[in-house]
A = this chain, B = another copy of it.
Amino acid sequence: MPVRLKDIADDLGVSVVTVSKVLRNHGDISRETRDRVLKRIKELNYQPNLAARALVTGRTHLIGLVVPDLVHQFFAQVAKGASHVLRKRGYSLIISSSEEDPALENEEISQLLSRRIDALIVASSHSTPAFLQQIEDAQIPYLLLDRKFSGCEACFVGIDDRKAGELATTHLIENGCQRIAYIGGKNVSTAINRLEGFRKAMAAHRLPIHEGQITCRSHFDDAADITGYKAMKTLLRRKPHPDGIFCYNDPVATGVMQAIIEAGLRIPEDIALIGCGNVRYASALRVPLSSVDQDCELMGEQAAAIALDLIAGKVVTPKTVLLEPRLIVRKSSVRPAANSNPVSKPNRAVVSK
């Protein structure tokens, strides 16, 4: 029922190809014909059938984005950044949320591959890179976002998680915390590497890490805030309880905050708290939450740019883009007693490979 090239061609007594050429600004057309065609196209409000175009060109101008949880503001912002870049280049983003479920993620990826997307950006909920095989098999260019896999060759855009962990932990230490706990996720690189940064900072200040001070939970079935809440409840049973908490993301920190307050303890006086990700509402929380900013929109933009390069067949170097994390100090981590010296570095994208 929609208008086709053929309709326009018949109306004007030219061939379909002529109309198609006008549409694609092919040189091979006289001024006069071009104008007549354009006029008719506008009159009928012709919209090319992208499915047909995709079939013959092999290009869908669709780019897939798979995230673990779209409701987490972080990924929504990444999507926004990516979408912004792609839109300008005539590409659409097709977003899938895996709900942190690897099996569902596989299904979604399979769907996207079936649609012959031109490239795929994945923030995976898998703990091993085996699933990447299906993307390789389909020969569709892809890159990893936020979460990577050790020993995996694929392109990657994310932040320097180790440095983020170090930054946050050092900040807590500088604010006088001694018994710092880490609450993270399971089997994802962000959690693992932030933990590594945590360990490094603790070691650098010769602070011991006791058994049980490190919590790693997958939040497969719980929302992250509930995960944080439960983890903190457990930590509070330890005597003495921790005096500082570093959470690997802000939703977890939100739950932690809730648990601390419920226990009748004060933030930051009794327990200092810092998250990671710097969600928009961090400053509006019960206690304004210190965090490590990741510039998520920029992350999305960079990922999109690399996806486009991959499609264009450009050799992408470096293959890894690590954004520089930035410490954002708010009330939740600033202890009156301590002399704080919040280190804020300029937010340059640091490129490594």
Check if A236 is an interface residue, CB within 8 A of chain B: no
Provided the pairs A2-B139, A70-B79 are in contact, do residues A50 and B115 lie with their beta carbons within 8 angstroms? yes
Q: Is the CB of A285 within 8 A of B281?
A: yes
Chain B, Cβ-Cβ closest to A285: B284
Check if A48 is an interface residue, CB within 8 A of chain B: yes
Residues facing B in A79-127 (CB within 8 A) are: 79-80, 83, 87, 92-97, 99, 107-108, 110-116
Provided the pairs A47-B138, A137-B45 are in contact, do residues A284 and B254 lie with their beta carbons within 8 angstroms? yes
Instruction: Say how far A250's CB is from chain B's closest CB, in angstroms.
Output: 9
Check if A36 is an interface residue, CB within 8 A of chain B: no
Stretch of A19-27, A51-59, A195-203, A340-348 lying at the B interface = A51-59
Check if A283 is an interface residue, CB within 8 A of chain B: yes
Check if A31 is an interface residue, CB within 8 A of chain B: no
Instruction: Say how far A86's CB is from chain B's closest CB, in angstroms.
Output: 11
Q: How large is the interface on A (under 10, 10 to 19, 20 to 34, 35 or more residues)?
A: 35 or more
Check if A257 is an interface residue, CB within 8 A of chain B: yes
**Chain B residues, CB < 8 A from A94:** 92, 94-95
Q: In the bound complex, how far is the Cα of B94 from the Cα of A14, in angstroms?
A: 36
Q: Is the CB of A1 within 8 A of B139?
A: yes
Other-chain contact of A225, B108, B284, B285 (Cβ < 8 Å): B284
Q: Is the CB of A50 within 8 A of B116?
A: yes
Q: Is the CB of B77 within 8 A of A71?
A: yes
Residues facing B in A122-147 (CB within 8 A) are: 134, 137-139
Instruction: Say how far A331's CB is from chain B's closest CB, in angstroms.
Output: 10
Provided the pairs A45-B134, A137-B45, A284-B286 are in contact, do residues A60 and B51 lie with their beta carbons within 8 angstroms? yes
Q: Is the CB of A114 within 8 A of B71?
A: no
Q: In the bound complex, how far is the Cα of B112 from the Cα of A93, in angstroms?
A: 11
Check if A76 is an interface residue, CB within 8 A of chain B: yes
Q: In the bound complex, how far is the Cα of B255 from the Cα of A99, in angstroms?
A: 29
Provided the pairs A71-B73, A111-B92 are in contact, do residues A223 and B280 lie with their beta carbons within 8 angstroms? yes
**Chain B residues, CB < 8 A from A80:** 70-71, 97, 99
Check if A49 is an interface residue, CB within 8 A of chain B: yes
Instruction: Say how far A252's CB is from chain B's closest CB, in angstroms.
Output: 12
Check if A18 is an interface residue, CB within 8 A of chain B: no
Check if A258 is an interface residue, CB within 8 A of chain B: yes
**Chain B residues, CB < 8 A from A97:** 79-80, 83
Q: In the bound complex, how far is the Cα of B73 from the Cα of A254, in angstroms?
A: 15
- Interface digits, A1-22 against B, CB 8 Å rule (1 contact, 0 not)? 1100000000000000000000
**Chain B residues, CB < 8 A from A99:** 80
Other-chain contact of A286, B49, B107, B114, B286 (Cβ < 8 Å): B286
**Chain B residues, CB < 8 A from A83:** 96-97
Instruction: Say how far A335's CB is from chain B's closest CB, in angstroms.
Output: 19
- Interface digits, A286-329 against B, CB 8 Å rule (1 contact, 0 not)? 10100000000000000000000000000000000000000000
13 contacts between A and B (CB under 8 A): A47-B138, A48-B114, A49-B114, A49-B116, A50-B115, A71-B76, A73-B73, A83-B97, A87-B108, A92-B96, A92-B115, A225-B280, A285-B285
Top 7 A-B pairs ranked by shortest CB distance?
A: A51-B54, A47-B114, A71-B76, A254-B284, A51-B51, A50-B115, A94-B94
